[in-house]
Structure 1
């Protein structure tokens, strides 16, 4: 995932929550679909590197999307293969 530079504060991004917290739900949904704007993608990925709750939210969004059943089947097949 992309990391933000530690030498300079990140530029303000419209729609980015000012206070520490979790990613907005519409960001989670867009990230899960692979449609999150490049303007905020770095901020979202930096947040995901440190927030288990948001990683879980993205996982749930992916599983609830159109590819969720196929991903679950692939996970199960891989687990069976590994043992």
Structure 2
């Protein structure tokens, strides 16, 4: 594939992907693209965090970091 043919995930696609609203073939394309494109992976990550799962992800992350910190502190 030539560099000119490379596409990137739009903000609209990222939001649809985060909301599980992309058609399955588009989802596959986005997932494959995200493996190789850091800027698009960030765009999708931002869309996920901005969605309804954002607060849950923040709570889970905080819990994991707290548990890891407790483990590092020792007995």
- Cα RMSD of the aligned pairs, angstroms, is 1.8
Match of 1:59 among 45, 51, 55: 45
How far apart are the structure 2 equivalents of 1:23 and 1:81? Answer: 35
**Which of 1 and 2 has greater Rg?**
2
Moved over 6 A (4+): none
Match of 1:49 among 25, 35, 40: 35
> How far apart are 1:22 and its partner, in Å?
1.5
- Taking structure 2 as the reference length, the TM-score comes to 0.76
Report how many residues are paired: 67
Q: Which residue of 1 aligns with 2:63?
A: 77
How far apart are the structure 2 equivalents of 1:65 and 1:48? Answer: 19
- Taking structure 1 as the reference length, the TM-score comes to 0.70
Alpha-carbon displacement from aligned partner over 1:23-79 (angstroms, at most 9, x marks no partner):
122211111112211121211111000011111111111111122112111101111
Do residues 30 (structure 1) and 16 (structure 2) align? yes
